[in-house]
């Protein structure tokens, strides 16, 4: 990892019980509320870093520690070489000015046009009128709404408002851009546009982007690394691809399941068995193991006919990822041989046949986690456990060697 | 109406204008300051300061509900200390300014509370100082309701000026009572009422159109 541009060390943020208003997401309990509870985290210069968590997990507070909209109760936050803890309000202002921020509700000044909003941080930074005008035009061009320069926010769509927000955040050439649920108020198509723009900001301008979200889809499409937050703590941290392919925590599995709907739920499985009498298996497709070509090759070698009945392959962090559910048709020996062959190339979950279904051990947990296949291999047929699994991991659940690469 | 009353009516009009304009400028200015103080010092806001907020809040709550007639009399000692006398147009205008400031302070605060806190957070995130945020975000964002509040204040001040006038400050209210009510000259009262209605309508229209322009919608 390159030099960290943001470093949290045991960062704690407590709010008094009757603390500042507008903390919508925090449960109000007696005593102080720890919104951020001992977070240690490094964010590298130049990466797109995701912080995902449910409402109230503390992610918004965490990101506000970076630009000192909130200050730590304990621990430290170092941004671009400056330790923010203990700095006076006046000393924090220039630090804030060097960090761009965009918001879920855009937070544009209604009394100013798009151009006026983008000019605001430049006024704060003391730019001359001529310099401001040139920079504003350049920024509006970059975000693709040069024609809306003289429109007031009330006349702009959500996507256009967020583009103004991004242009405003980039105005003073910050090295860091904080995106607080920047796409949560947008429709899916606009979300994709705004995410693509954030990706451009990262690639073309080299700006470190910290994305706060509760949507795994956002992490899937643009984040290099991700931290999963729960109750003020970072419970999981890693490359986006690694976290997607081998989620360790229940909360992470829930998020992954929300973004990838490639694996059949019990209800889907019941319907699949109704339509397809043959052996039903789910195989993982990723860039390390089990490309679909490999899978098809194994089946052809064993003389088994395989039909794709469910699933999909998508991209996580721009790398292929997904799973396919197949119906295997052939003699029992051929199918067994094919299963052994599949186990050799990728992770497999055997659902059995319609006549002799195999229950996934994880069914009980599936209800709580929302994702299957994390409980290990089917219990009913020990003969199919070709590939050993680590305790707690499953073909799609635990550490699979995808990251370490020492498993096969 | 007797023709010889016309110059007197003009005088009365001038006196009312004097009282109202001075009160609007001075009272409006201090009202804006106190209102901003209330808003900014409110716990959780930009310059949260519980003691300051409590003092301002209590002061506004004490002054505002007092009927103006009683306030005018009760303020006597302070008026004497500042203006030198407790009667006459200057003394009453002084009392009007103070009452107007506290009335407007509450109007200002109520209008500022409706500002989206997210916009203020965005300005903070861009490194703006509290003073700059007040000047470039708080006031411009709430300009439209502030104009309407100020228009509302005008009507209140006009009302106050009539009471002050009756107690000896002159003005339209005094004119209507002395030359209309007491002389059984209903026409004089009617003319004054019409003048007041026209003034109020004009100011309200002006306020509405300015507020609409400030709304940016």
B172-209, pLDDT tens digit by residue?
Answer: 888 888 887 787 888 888 888 888 889 889 999 999 99
A107, A110, A154 ranked by CB distance to B121: nearest? A107
A221 and A45 Cβ atoms separated by less than 8 Å: no
Encode pLDDT of A98-129 as tens digits.
Answer: 899 999 999 999 999 999 999 999 999 999 99
Q: Are the Cβ atoms of B44 and A120 closer than 8 angstroms?
A: no
- pLDDT value of position A1: 53
- pLDDT value of position B216: 67
Residue A386 confidence (pLDDT) above 50: no
Chain A residues closer than 8 Å to B122 by CB: 101, 103, 107-108
What is the phi/psi pair of residue A384, to 5°?
-90, -5
Residue B86 confidence (pLDDT) above 90: no
Please state the rounded mean pLDDT for residues A266-288.
86
| Continuous H helices in B23-88 | 28-41, 50-63, 68-74, 76-83
The model's pTM is 0.78
Chain B residues closer than 8 Å to A67 by CB: 125
Q: Which helix (H) or strand (E) holds B91?
A: helix B89-112
| Continuous H helices in B113-179 | 117-125, 130-133, 139-141, 143-164, 172-175
- pLDDT value of position A392: 38
Between positions 111 and 130 of A, the ones with CB within 8 A of B are: 111-112, 120-121, 123-125
Residue A297 confidence (pLDDT) above 90: no
Q: Are the Cβ atoms of A107 and B122 closer than 8 angstroms?
A: yes
* Closest chain A residue to the Cα of B116, Cα to Cα: A107
Encode pLDDT of A132-174 as tens digits.
Answer: 999 999 999 999 999 999 999 999 999 999 999 999 999 999 9
Please state the rounded mean pLDDT for residues A362-370.
37
Q: How far is A239 from chain B (nearest CA, A)?
A: 29
Greater confidence, A27 or B31?
Answer: B31
- pLDDT value of position B217: 57
Q: How far is B119 from chain A (nearest CA, A)?
A: 5
Chain B residues closer than 8 Å to A111 by CB: 140-141, 143, 214, 216
* Closest chain B residue to the Cα of A69, Cα to Cα: B125
As given in the structure block, the two tokens for residue A366 are: 């599936």
Distance CA(B103)–CA(B106), nearest Å, equals 6
A273 and A325 Cβ atoms separated by less than 8 Å: no
| Model ipTM value | 0.81
Mean predicted lDDT score pLDDT of chain A: 81
Mean predicted lDDT score pLDDT of chain B: 88
Greater confidence, A207 or A24?
Answer: A207
The rounded radius of gyration (Å) of the Cα atoms in chain B is: 20
Q: Model confidence at A343, in pLDDT bands (50, 70, 90)?
A: confident
């Amino acid at each position: 990892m390159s030099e960290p541009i943001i470093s949290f060390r045991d960062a704690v943020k407590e709010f008094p019980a009757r603390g500042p208003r507008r903390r919508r997401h925090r449960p109000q309990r007696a005593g102080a509320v720890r919104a951020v509870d001992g977070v240690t985290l490094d964010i590298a210069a130049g990466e797109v870093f995701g912080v995902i968590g449910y409402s109230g997990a503390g992610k918004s507070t965490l990101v506000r520690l970076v630009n000192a909209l909130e200050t730590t109760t304990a621990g430290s936050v170092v941004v671009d070489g400056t330790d923010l803890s203990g700095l006076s309000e006046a000393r924090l202002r220039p630090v804030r000015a060097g960090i761009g921020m965009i918001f879920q509700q855009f937070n544009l000044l209604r009394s100013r046009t798009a151009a006026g909003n983008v000019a605001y941080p430049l006024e704060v930074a003391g730019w001359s009128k001529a310099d401001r005008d040139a920079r504003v035009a350049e920024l509006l061009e970059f975000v693709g709404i040069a024609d809306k320069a003289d429109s007031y926010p009330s006349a702009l769509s959500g996507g256009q408002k967020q583009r103004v927000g991004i242009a405003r955040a980039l105005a003073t050439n910050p090295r860091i851009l904080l995106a607080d649920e920047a796409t949560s108020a947008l429709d899916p198509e606009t979300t994709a546009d705004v995410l693509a723009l954030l990706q451009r900001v990262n690639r073309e301008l080299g700006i470190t982007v910290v994305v706060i979200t509760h949507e795994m889809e956002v992490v899937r499409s643009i984040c290099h690394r991700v931290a999963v937050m729960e109750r003020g703590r970072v419970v999981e941290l890693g490359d986006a691809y690694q976290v997607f392919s081998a989620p360790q925590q229940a909360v992470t599995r829930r998020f992954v399941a929300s973004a990838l709907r490639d694996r059949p739920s019990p209800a889907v499985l019941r319907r699949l068995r109704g339509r397809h009498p043959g052996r039903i298996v789910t195989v993982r497709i990723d860039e390390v193991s089990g490309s679909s070509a490999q899978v098809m090759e194994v089946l052809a070698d064993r003389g088994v006919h395989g039909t794709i009945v469910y699933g999909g392959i998508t991209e996580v962090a721009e790398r292929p990822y997904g799973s396919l559910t197949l119906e295997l048709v052939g003699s029992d020996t051929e199918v067994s041989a094919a299963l052994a062959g599949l186990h050799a190339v990728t992770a497999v979950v055997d659902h059995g046949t319609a006549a002799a279904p195999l229950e996934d051990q994880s069914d009980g947990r599936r209800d709580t986690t929302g994702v299957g296949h994390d409980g290990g291999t089917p219990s009913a047929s020990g003969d199919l456990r070709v590939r050993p699994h680590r305790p707690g991991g499953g073909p799609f659940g635990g550490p699979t060697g995808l990251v370490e690469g020492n498993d096969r | 109406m007797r023709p010889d009353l016309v110059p007197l009516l003009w005088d009365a009009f001038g006196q009312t204008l004097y009282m109202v304009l001075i009160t609007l400028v001075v009272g409006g200015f201090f009202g804006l300051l106190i209102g901003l103080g209330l808003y900014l010092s409110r716990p959780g806001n930009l310059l949260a300061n519980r003691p300051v907020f409590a003092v301002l809040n209590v002061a506004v709550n004490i002054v505002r509900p007092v009927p103006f007639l009683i306030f005018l009399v009760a303020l006597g000692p302070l008026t004497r200390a500042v203006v030198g006398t407790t009667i006459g147009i200057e003394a009453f205008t002084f009392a009007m300014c103070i009452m107007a400031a506290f009335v407007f302070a509450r109007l200002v605060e109520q209008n500022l509370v409706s500002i989206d806190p997210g916009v203020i957070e965005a300005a903070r995130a861009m490194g703006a100082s509290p003073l700059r945020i007040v000047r470039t975000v708080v006031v411009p964002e709430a300009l439209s309701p502030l104009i309407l509040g100020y228009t509302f204040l005008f009507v209140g001040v006009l009302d106050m000026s009539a009471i002050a006038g009756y107690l000896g400050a002159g003005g339209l209210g005094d004119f209507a009572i002395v030359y209309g009510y007491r002389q059984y000259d209903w026409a004089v009262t009617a003319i004054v009422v019409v003048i007041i209605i026209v003034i109020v309508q004009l100011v309200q229209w002006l306020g509405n159109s300015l507020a609409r322009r400030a709304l940016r919608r």
